[in-house]
Structure 1
Amino acid sequence: MSRLKDLREKRGYTQIYMQMKTGINQSDFSKIENGKRYYTFEQCKRIALALNTSMDYLAGLTDVEDPYPRSN
Structure 2
Amino acid sequence: MNSKPINKFCPRSGKDVREDSLTTYRGNTVGFCNPQCCKEFAADPEACPSDRAYFDTLLKEYELATDLD
- What is the TM-score with the length of structure 1 in the denominator? 0.33
Larger relative helix fraction: 1
